[in-house]
């Protein structure tokens, strides 16, 4: 039996019927890891045999992105600078998962500090796309998406700052949800860009995403940015019915650079939803072209401050040069950070430091915040007319490992369709909608109003049932 290939809701049904035990499920996931992990390399750290509670509500094996703190387990953001760091506390989402009996398989590989769209910047080396080992899985939650796609986990948690859940989900053919900013607690998520980061589920289908969001969502008194709104039962939103829904297609999203196969696949999906009774209209999100540059100012500015604490003093890597260069303290800072951070991390820290520097703040960071407000207003306007917006998740399917590592700008454009949801805080989901002729997955992105994850589940579920 290969329960590791099943969805969590199928597994839970079988367990309920006593046809399967939680132990069997974990054993099959474990066996799969033994079999494929050397090729896929989805994990940064694989945990020792975890405790399995047979009678737990949800004893589902889950991979956790390497930037979410688990008490006593190596948590490194796939960076050398956090070598040996074992947090003395659990992230809020981990506490919630532990309470429901989830089984942690390991910390999933990621781009160093979530800086990237290919999982190639990990200190542990790249993760490979289970659909084609020569390709990237996307990123930065590439390990999480690959683990689920390779059946090395039933579920995974990722984090999404500019598309880091949705883009790898699209490239690996799984479901990835970025909840509304404030829906899931960030306490224990090692910050990249605090005003954009959000933890979310990566699963095999929509139903599982709803089940997992049910567990992790909710207000947390330890996170002031989490919002105190009641959490609905998201499985109730899983209805095969889109009749009367109005869905927008932003004209700015289907421009040059998009792979024609991706475009076709998305329009095929639109046709299916039309058949199911949804109506579509072209809308405009006029500030779309500024999203990527705005994002790289706001996100790197926050990152430069968030990553300053990795200084070799309290935890993680500490290095000193052999001889004193400036002062013992400055030498320690410089050497530790020089060795501890990879190229992309250094590039972003420098970008962000520059954007916040005295004399440049108004021209960059402040301007960035203003444009961000305009982008948010675009969506406010759009959602006055439509219930949801559909776009591709990524302009291309999975690219080859190494293809874009020397061209950061083209790498940054991988997130062109996903970044706006982070800048405006709205929820967005990526759903598999087809395969390219090279047999690589294509993802469809659905976006909705803040805290209307139910709309994403409803449309996604209808599509899944009718495709």
Partner 1 sequence: MNQQTQQFETVIGLEVHLQLDTKTKIFCGCANAFGHEPNTLTCPVCLGLPGSLPVFNKQVLEYGIKIGLALNCTVSSFIKFDRKNYYYPDLPKAYQISQYDMPVARNGFIMAPSQNGESKKIRIHRAHLEEDAGKLIHDDAANCSLVDYNRTGTPLMEIVSEPDMHSPQDAYEYLQMLKLTLQYLNVSDCDMEKGSLRCDANISIRPVGQTNLGTKTEIKNMNSFKAVKEALSYEIGRQESVVRSGGVIVQETRLWDENKQMTFSMRSKEEAHDYRYFPEPDLVPFTVSEQKIEEIKTALPELPLQKQARIKERYRLNDYDSFILVQDPLVAGFFEECVTLYPDAKKICNWITGPVLQELNAKKVPITELKLSPKNLTTLIQKVEEGVVSNLVGKDILKNILETGQDAGDIIQSQGLAQVSDDGALLKIVDELIKENEKVVGQIKAGEEKAIGFLVGQGMKKMQGKANPKKITELLKRRILDV
Residues at the contact surface with partner 1, assessed by CB under 8 A: 67-69, 75, 77, 82, 85, 87-89, 91, 186-191, 193-195, 221-225, 301-302, 304-305, 308-311, 313-315, 329, 333, 353, 356-358, 361, 365
Whose Cβ is closer to partner 1: residue 214's or residue 226's? 226
Closest CA to 266 of 28, 452, 450, 432: 432
Active site (annotated) includes residue 65: yes
CB 86 within 8 A of CB 42: no
CB 425 within 8 A of CB 372: no
Out of 65, 178, 204, 449, the active site residue is: 65
Q: Which token pair is 378?
A: 């675009």
Degrees (nearest 5) of the Cα angle 259, 462, 426?
Answer: 65
Whose Cβ is closer to partner 1: residue 26's or residue 187's? 187
Q: Which token pair is 299?
A: 């996100």
Task: State in angstroms the smallest separation of the CB of 314 from partner 1.
Answer: 6
Out of 118, 141, 164, 185, the active site residue is: 164
Task: State in angstroms the smallest separation of the CB of 33 from partner 1.
Answer: 26
Out of 140, 159, 226, 304, the active site residue is: 140
Q: Which token pair is 262?
A: 């991706």
Task: State in angstroms the smallest separation of the CB of 287 from partner 1.
Answer: 21
Whose Cβ is closer to partner 1: residue 311's or residue 453's? 311
141: Cα separation from own chain's centroid = 5
Q: Which token pair is 207?
A: 């139903």
The helix (run of H) or strand (run of E) holding residue 376 is helix 367-385
Q: What is the 3-state secondary structure (H, E, C) of 16-33?
A: HCCCCCHHHHHHHHHHHH
Q: Which token pair is 138?
A: 């996307």
Active site (annotated) includes residue 164: yes
Task: State in angstroms the smallest separation of the CB of 140 from partner 1.
Answer: 16
CB 278 within 8 A of CB 247: yes
3-state secondary structure of 61: strand
Active site (annotated) includes residue 377: no
Token pair 């035990």 is found at 21
Task: State in angstroms the smallest separation of the CB of 112 from partner 1.
Answer: 14
Q: Whole-angstrom Cα distance, residue 447 to residue 380?
A: 12
- Positions marked active-site: 65, 140, 164
């Amino acid at each position: 039996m290969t329960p590791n290939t099943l969805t969590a809701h199928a597994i839970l049904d079988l367990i309920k019927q006593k046809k399967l035990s939680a132990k069997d499920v974990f054993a099959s996931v474990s066996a799969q890891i033994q079999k494929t992990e050397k090729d896929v390399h989805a994990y940064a750290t694989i945990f020792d045999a975890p405790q399995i509670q047979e009678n737990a509500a949800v004893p589902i094996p889950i991979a956790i992105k390497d930037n979410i703190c688990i008490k006593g387990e190596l948590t490194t953001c796939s960076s050398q600078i956090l070598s040996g760091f074992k947090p003395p506390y659990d992230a809020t989402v981990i506490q919630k998962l532990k309470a429901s009996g989830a089984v942690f398989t390991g910390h999933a590989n990621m781009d160093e500090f979530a800086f990237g769209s290919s999982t190639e910047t990990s200190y542990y080396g790249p993760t490979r796309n289970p659909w084609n080992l020569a390709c990237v899985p996307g990123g930065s939650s590439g390990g999480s998406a690959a683990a689920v796609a390779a059946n090395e986990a039933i579920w995974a948690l990722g984090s999404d700052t500019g598309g880091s859940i949705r883009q790898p989900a699209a490239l690996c053919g799984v479901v990835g949800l970025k909840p509304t900013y404030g829906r899931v607690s960030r306490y224990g998520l090692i910050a990249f860009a605090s005003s954009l980061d959000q933890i979310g589920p990566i699963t095999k289908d929509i139903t599982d995403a709803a089940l997992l969001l049910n567990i992790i969502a909710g207000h947390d008194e330890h996170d002031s940015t989490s919002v105190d709104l009641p959490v609905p039962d998201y499985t109730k939103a899983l209805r095969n019915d889109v009749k009367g829904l109005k869905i927008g297609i932003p004209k700015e999203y289907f421009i040059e650079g998009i792979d024609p196969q991706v475009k076709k696949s998305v329009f095929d999906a639109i046709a299916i939803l039309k058949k199911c009774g949804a109506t579509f209209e072209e809308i405009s999100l006029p500030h779309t072209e500024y999203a990527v540059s705005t994002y790289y100012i706001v996100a790197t500015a926050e990152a430069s401050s968030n990553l300053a604490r990795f200084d070799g003093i309290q935890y993680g890597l500490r290095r000193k040069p052999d001889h004193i260069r400036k002062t013992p303290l400055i030498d320690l800072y410089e050497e530790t950070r020089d060795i501890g951070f990879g190229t992309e991390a250094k590039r972003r820290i420098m970008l962000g430091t520059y954007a916040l520097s005295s004399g440049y703040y108004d021209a960059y960071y402040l301007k960035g915040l203003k444009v961000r407000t305009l982008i948010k207003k675009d969506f406010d306007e759009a959602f006055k007319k439509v219930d949801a917006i559909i776009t591709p998740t990524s302009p291309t399917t999975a690219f080859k490992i190494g293809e874009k590592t020397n061209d950061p700008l083209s790498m940054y454009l991988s997130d062109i369709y996903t970044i706006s949801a982070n800048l405006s805080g709205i929820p967005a989901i990526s759903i598999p909608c087809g395969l390219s002729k090279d047999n690589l997955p294509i993802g469809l992105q659905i976006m909705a109003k803040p805290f209307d994850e139910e709309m994403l589940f409803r449309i996604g579920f209808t599509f899944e049932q009718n495709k």
